[in-house]
């Protein structure tokens, strides 16, 4: 398996002049020692989105820069497992609040990895589209539930008032044209 920090060489053309420059890699990132662990991880993902846009970052590399390790850990080390099990939610929150980026997980057939969104198109394609589909789906599910509620049979006055107060909002959400507008096109990798 090729490490991301290796120099990428174009082997298809021997006649191309060599410039002596290598492409950027994950090793080029310099973590800020004054940041917390989770902030360093978010900073690294932001740096990757700017420097290596679209490239998925294996959790091992996140752990390396987050903990400022000298070597790349294995996927079974406690630092890597900790990121995947308990730290990613905090890292995602920092990435969103400080850098205006969401995360995209690597496809299942690849090494476990994540990347930060790179621009408005990427953010729309990989976050907003999914979120609007959830709104449409949730609105349909909520309306299905509401259709089964007989308000007159409710004993709890506060709950009854809540249902009646949300009815106009739910009705406006169920308008056919609004639901159609929320159903954005399918995910496209272009």
Same-domain check for residues 36 and 113 = yes
Instruction: Report which of 96, 114, 84, 95 is spatially closest to residue 39, judged by C-alpha positions.
Output: 95
Q: Tell whether 64 is covered by a domain.
A: yes
153-157-158-163 Cα dihedral, nearest 10 degrees: 30
Domain that holds residue 104: 26-117
Q: What is the pLDDT of residues 27-78, one digit of tens each?
A: 999 989 999 999 999 999 999 999 999 999 999 999 999 999 999 999 999 9
Same-domain check for residues 144 and 86 = no
Q: Which of 69, 100, 117 marks a domain boundary? A: 117
Q: Is the pLDDT of residue 24 over 50?
A: yes
Q: Tell whether 21 is covered by a domain.
A: no
Answer yes or no: are the C-beta atoms of 88 and 62 closer than 8 Å: no
Same-domain check for residues 40 and 105 = yes
Per the structure block, which two tokens stand in for 98? Answer: 């400080």
Q: What is the pLDDT of residues 113-127, one digit of tens each?
A: 999 999 999 999 999
Same-domain check for residues 101 and 140 = no
Report the predicted TM-score, pTM, of the whole model to 2 decimal places: 0.72
Q: Tell whether 68 is covered by a domain.
A: yes
HSE-CB for 77 with a 13 A CA cutoff: 14
Q: Is the pLDDT of residue 136 over 60?
A: yes
Phi and psi at residue 151, to the nearest 5°: -60, -40
Same-domain check for residues 31 and 108 = yes
Q: Tell whether 69 is covered by a domain.
A: yes
């Amino acid at each position: 398996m090729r490490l991301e920090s290796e120099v990428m060489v174009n082997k298809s053309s021997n006649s191309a002049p060599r410039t002596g420059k290598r492409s950027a890699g994950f090793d080029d990132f310099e973590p800020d020692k004054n940041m917390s662990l989770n902030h360093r991880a978010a900073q690294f993902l932001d740096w990757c989105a700017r420097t290596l846009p679209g490239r998925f970052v294996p959790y091992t590399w996140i752990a390396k820069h987050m903990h400022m390790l000298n070597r790349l850990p294995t996927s079974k080390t406690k630092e890597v497992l900790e990121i995947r099990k308990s730290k990613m939610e905090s890292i995602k929150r920092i990435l969103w609040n400080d850098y205006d980026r969401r995360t995209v997980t690597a496809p299942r057939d690849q090494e476990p990895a994540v990347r930060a969104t790179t621009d408005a198109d990427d953010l729309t394609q990989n976050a907003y589209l999914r979120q609007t589909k959830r709104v449409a789906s949730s609105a349909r599910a909520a309306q299905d539930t509401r259709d089964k509620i007989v308000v007159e049979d409710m004993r709890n006055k506060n709950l009854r008032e809540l249902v009646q107060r949300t009815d106009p909002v739910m009705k406006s959400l169920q308008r056919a044209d609004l639901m159609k507008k929320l159903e954005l096109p399918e995910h496209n990798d272009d």
